[in-house]
C-alpha cells in the first residue's frame, strides 16, 4: 500500500562530495521544501529500483541550478573524479566594490 508509513532509524553521517554538486542538491532540496537528507534518501531509493527520481520539470530546474552553480559534470564523470591537491584550484576573483 503506497500510503503506509515506514518507521526508520536515521544516523548522522559526514560524507565528502564535490562542492558544486552539493550546492545544486541543497538548492534543489530547498526548492522542493525538503531536507537534504530526505532528498538524498529519495534519490537513492529510486536509483536502487532502477528509476529516475525526478520529473521532467524537476530535471529542468536541476539543469538551471547546474548552470547557475557552474556544475559541468554528468554521470559520465562518476568514476573519474579526482581530488585537487590543496591550493591547486583557481581562486574566485573578488568583485570590485
| 24 phi, psi to nearest 5 deg | -65, -45
Q: Please give the grid coordinates belonging to residue 63.
A: 539543469
pLDDT of residue 85: 86
Residue identified by cell 537528507 is 37
Write down the pLDDT at residue 2.
Answer: 67
CA 73 to chain centre: 12
Per-residue pLDDT of the chain (97 residues; tens, 9 = 90+): 567 899 999 999 999 999 999 999 999 999 999 999 999 999 999 999 999 999 999 999 999 999 999 999 999 999 999 998 887 666 665 555 4
- The CA-CA-CA angle for residues 86, 87, 89, to 5°, reads 100
Quick one: which of 14, 31, 16 has its CA closest to 69? 31
Q: What is the pTM of this model?
A: 0.81
Q: Other C-beta atoms within 10 Å of 59: how many?
A: 12
Amino acid at each position: 500500500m503506497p500510503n503506509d508509513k515506514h518507521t526508520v532509524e536515521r544516523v548522522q553521517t559526514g560524507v565528502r562530495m564535490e562542492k558544486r554538486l552539493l550546492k545544486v542538491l541543497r538548492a534543489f532540496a530547498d526548492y522542493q521544501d525538503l531536507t537534504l537528507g530526505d532528498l538524498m534518501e529519495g534519490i537513492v531509493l529510486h536509483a536502487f529500483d532502477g528509476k529516475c527520481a525526478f520529473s521532467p520539470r524537476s530535471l529542468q530546474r536541476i539543469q538551471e541550478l547546474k548552470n547557475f552553480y557552474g556544475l559541468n559534470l554528468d554521470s559520465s564523470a562518476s568514476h573519474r573524479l579526482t581530488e585537487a591537491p590543496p591550493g591547486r584550484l583557481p581562486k574566485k576573483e573578488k568583485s570590485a566594490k
